[in-house]
């Protein structure tokens, strides 16, 4: 009987080990030590007030830090990437590629270089160039627009005989979307047929509302909602990549800036709402 009991115990231990291997568990932290420079190749200091975020391709912020004064080796930010055996809403897995999002004031930009997630308890180094921003203010609203974008749009303005400085609040093609809104969405501010819009919508009972739209790679999208179009009060609504995914603030359908296609995101309706209106936004 004793031998049989030992055999059963060994079998139970073997099964437990097999089940444990399938469980997602934390495996440590990977450090990304970086240098962020401006468009003139100067290392930024804390006075630049820039935040660096490591963002998964589905839009989840995995790690965030503010740019500090550079150390002796020129590094001015350190991202601590929490690792698990399988990526989650708040962790990454070894080998993942994360987008680097840079925030200064109201401006948001995507760094051209992705962040590679290495092994636990190791450090990787990265050098990034920050997109110089110009702030515009109108009616109390301020937006930051990359200088590189204003330089690129200048020849178009000249071709269309539009004088003056680039105005992000104007609507050059009269399609209802501001120039800045079209920049965020990746659409052409001189082409009224090219704009961010919901192309299909469905609202099954007791299920997330489905909003379909054409996306541009490298851009973040979200949804705002209001219960009335009379003096509407728009608030950000959590969204999902699929009906069963966890909710998040923003989604990035693709990190490839050359990628354009159709996608669908899902919005959980507000509890107790008899009517609800949605609008698609790009950040």
pLDDT range class, residue 11, cuts 50, 70, 90: very low
271 located within any domain: yes
The mean pLDDT of the chain is 83
Question: Above 80 in pLDDT, residue 6?
Answer: no
Least confident range from 20-24, 62-66, 67-71: namely 20-24
Question: Above 70 in pLDDT, residue 246?
Answer: yes
Q: Count how many residues are written for the chain.
A: 283
Question: Above 70 in pLDDT, residue 30?
Answer: yes
Question: Above 80 in pLDDT, residue 162?
Answer: yes
Q: Are residues 138 and 224 in the same domain?
A: no
89 located within any domain: yes
Q: Which residue has the higher pLDDT, 52 or 270?
A: 52
252 located within any domain: yes
Cα distance between residue 28 and residue 169, in whole Å:
45
6 located within any domain: no
- Give the pLDDT of residue 17: 45
190 located within any domain: no
- Give the pLDDT of residue 10: 40
Q: Are residues 109 and 172 in the same domain?
A: no
Full-model pTM: 0.57
Question: Above 90 in pLDDT, residue 231?
Answer: no
Closest by alpha carbon to 82, among 121, 114, 128, 127? 121
Cα distance between residue 143 and residue 46, in whole Å:
21
Question: Above 70 in pLDDT, residue 160?
Answer: yes
Question: Above 80 in pLDDT, residue 175?
Answer: yes
> What is the three-state SS of 157-212?
HHHCCCCCCCCCCCCCCCCCCCHHHHHHHCCCCCCCCCCCCEEEEECCCCCCEEEE
15 located within any domain: no
- Give the pLDDT of residue 14: 42
Q: Are residues 68 and 118 in the same domain?
A: yes
pLDDT range class, residue 1, cuts 50, 70, 90: very low
Q: What is the mean predicted confidence (pLDDT) over 218-233? A: 87
Q: How many domains does the chain have?
A: 3
Q: Are residues 245 and 159 in the same domain?
A: no
Q: Are residues 120 and 46 in the same domain?
A: yes
Question: Above 90 in pLDDT, residue 220?
Answer: no
140 located within any domain: yes
Q: Which domain holds residue 275?
A: 198-282
Question: Above 50 in pLDDT, residue 12?
Answer: no
Q: What is the mean predicted confidence (pLDDT) over 100-106? A: 80
pLDDT range class, residue 40, cuts 50, 70, 90: low
Question: Above 80 in pLDDT, residue 128?
Answer: yes
Q: What is the mean predicted confidence (pLDDT) over 52-62? A: 88
Q: Are residues 104 and 121 in the same domain?
A: yes
Q: What is the mean predicted confidence (pLDDT) over 139-156? A: 82
Report yes or no: 235 and 225 within 8 Å, Cβ to Cβ.
Answer: yes
Cα distance between residue 113 and residue 97, in whole Å:
10
Report yes or no: 265 and 124 within 8 Å, Cβ to Cβ.
Answer: no
- Give the pLDDT of residue 9: 42
Token pair of 79, please? 């991202």
Q: Is 219 exposed, middle or buried (0-12, 13-18, 19+ CB in 10 A)?
A: buried
Question: Above 80 in pLDDT, residue 130?
Answer: no
Least confident range from 80-94, 188-202, 218-232: namely 218-232
pLDDT range class, residue 106, cuts 50, 70, 90: low
């Amino acid at each position: 009987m004793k031998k049989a009991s030992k055999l059963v115990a060994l079998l139970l231990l073997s099964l437990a080990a097999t089940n444990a291997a399938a469980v997602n568990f934390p495996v440590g932290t990977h450090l990304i030590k970086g240098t962020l420079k401006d468009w003139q190749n100067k290392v930024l200091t804390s006075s630049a007030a820039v935040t660096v975020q490591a963002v998964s391709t589905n839009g989840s912020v995995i790690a965030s830090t503010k740019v500090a004064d550079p150390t002796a080796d020129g590094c001015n930010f350190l991202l601590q990437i929490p690792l698990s055996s399988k990526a989650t809403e708040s962790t990454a897995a070894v080998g993942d590629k994360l987008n680097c999002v840079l925030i200064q004031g109201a401006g948001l930009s995507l760094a051209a270089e992705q962040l590679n997630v290495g092994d636990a308890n190791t450090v990787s180094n990265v050098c990034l160039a920050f997109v110089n921003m110009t702030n515009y203010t109108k009616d109390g609203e301020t937006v930051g627009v990359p200088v590189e974008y204003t330089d690129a749009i200048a020849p178009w303005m000249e071709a269309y005989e539009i004088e003056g400085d680039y105005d992000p609040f104007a609507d050059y093609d009269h399609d209802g979307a501001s120039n800045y809104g079209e920049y965020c969405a990746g659409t052409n501010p001189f082409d009224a047929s090219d704009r961010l819009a919901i192309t299909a919508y469905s609202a099954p009972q007791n299920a997330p509302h489905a909003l379909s739209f054409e996306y541009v790679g490298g851009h973040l999208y979200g949804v705002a909602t209001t219960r009335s179009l009379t003096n509407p009060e728009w608030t950000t609504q959590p969204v999902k990549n699929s009906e069963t995914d966890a909710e998040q603030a923003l989604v990035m359908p693709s990190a490839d800036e050359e990628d354009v296609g159709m996608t669908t995101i899902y919005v959980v309706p507000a509890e107790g709402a008899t009517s609800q209106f949605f609008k698609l936004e790009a950040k």
